A and B are shown apart, each in its own frame.
Chain A
Amino acid sequence: MKVVLRNPRREVDVAGPRRVKDMLKELQIIPETVLIIRGDELLTGDVVLDDTDTVELRPVMSGGGVGPVHLP
């Protein structure tokens, strides 16, 4: 699957099928710091993504040009 990250905008490939929560864990991103967007819907952690999916991880933090917060 294609995962679009922001601030700065870039794309990474993650092998599917994989649950959203596992994809976030692989990218070491704290789930509460992003919206997981596929088309015009928001996804929850248990949704299974396959190789044809494109999802955007949109950071929600305002006040600074930063991306998602990563696990320590």
Chain B
Amino acid sequence: MLELRRHNAAFCTPDFLTFFRRQVAAAVRKHRMFTRDERVLVAVSGGKDSLALWDVLIEESYQTSGLYLDLGIHDYSVESKAKCEAFAAARGVPLIVSSVAEAVGAPVPVIQKVTRRPACSGCGLSKRYLMNKAALDHGFPVVATGHNLDDEAATLLGSVMQWQTDALSRQSPALPSTHRRLARRVKPLYRLSERETAAYAFLRKIDYIVEECPFARGATSIAHKEILSRMEAASPGAKHNFLFGFLEKARAAFERSETVHLNECERCGQVTTGTICAFCRLADEVKRSS
């Protein structure tokens, strides 16, 4: 049995699994994320969310491959990679592995030292770049990530606290391709809380990494999640109302009136608003320091 206060209900295991799959199906349908005729690249970290997402899509007969980005974060990366490989092998589904160290010239801990910026900065930049690159290289029109309702609500709170109107305009469960070299990006778990994805992973006996990235400790996004969790405890459904209210009533007001001009990086050919993309500049910075 699982109690979900925001639904004022308790579910038995079979009913909860059905509920979970229906929420994913509703997300995919509402935002036309992908069809069964398309190949979907699922970005997996070894954590509960991305492996739960991949599991649902496999069960629903979508054409999926996993993409694991090896960040080179000591034991955490070794263990999370092993979880993804075991998951893929047990289900007979393909897993693509891409290494940040090979692409940038150094793993995330070294990038942090070189750039003197938070580890999440270089890591996030590398992940976005390598996800899109893998999709292009392997012919996937769409990349699916395991972002859940809590992730999206915390991102929204962070953007609102700083009034980052650019970020607010881009926050969506589905980002279309706005350039021939940009894959679509979708978040089929955005309707489900992280407690629900954790319960799904547990009940499906998915062996995921419970320990989290050591660099994320103390991150602002975690502080926002804790604040939202306290609000949720006081008022069940608060996170849902915050995120869905934004998506349904407010997001359109932040959409840009003018379109951003996108170029292809002179070095690597990936999309950028300048001439050399941020990823190539990061790789240059790492190279200069070594």
**Chain A interface residues (CB < 8 Å from chain B):** 6-7, 30-33, 35, 37, 42-45, 58-66, 69, 71-72
**Chain B interface residues (CB < 8 Å from chain A):** 1-3, 5, 10, 47-49, 148, 150-151, 154, 193-195, 197-199, 202-203, 210-214, 216-219, 221-222, 225-226, 229-230, 232-233, 236
- Which B residues are in CB contact (< 8 Å) with A6? 210-211
- Which A residues are in CB contact (< 8 Å) with B193? 32
CB of B210 within 8 A of CB of A61, answer no
Other than the known A42-B203, A58-B198, A60-B195, what 4 A-B pairs have Cβ atoms closer than 8 Å? A59-B210, A63-B222, A65-B212, A65-B216
- Which A residues are in CB contact (< 8 Å) with B211? 6-7, 65
Which listed residue (B148, B151, B210, B230) contacts A69, Cβ 8 A?
Answer: B230
Which listed residue (B148, B195, B213) contacts A35, Cβ 8 A?
Answer: B195
- Given A62-B47, A69-B230, A33 and B212 contact (CB-CB distance below 8 Å): no
Interchain nearest-CB distance for A3 vs B (Å)? 16
- Which A residues are in CB contact (< 8 Å) with B221? 63-64
Bound-complex Cα distance A72 to B231 (A): 11
Bound-complex Cα distance A7 to B76 (A): 13
13 A–B pairs (Cβ distance < 8 Å), ordered by A: A32-B193, A32-B195, A42-B202, A42-B203, A61-B194, A62-B48, A63-B221, A64-B218, A65-B212, A65-B214, A65-B217, A66-B222, A71-B233
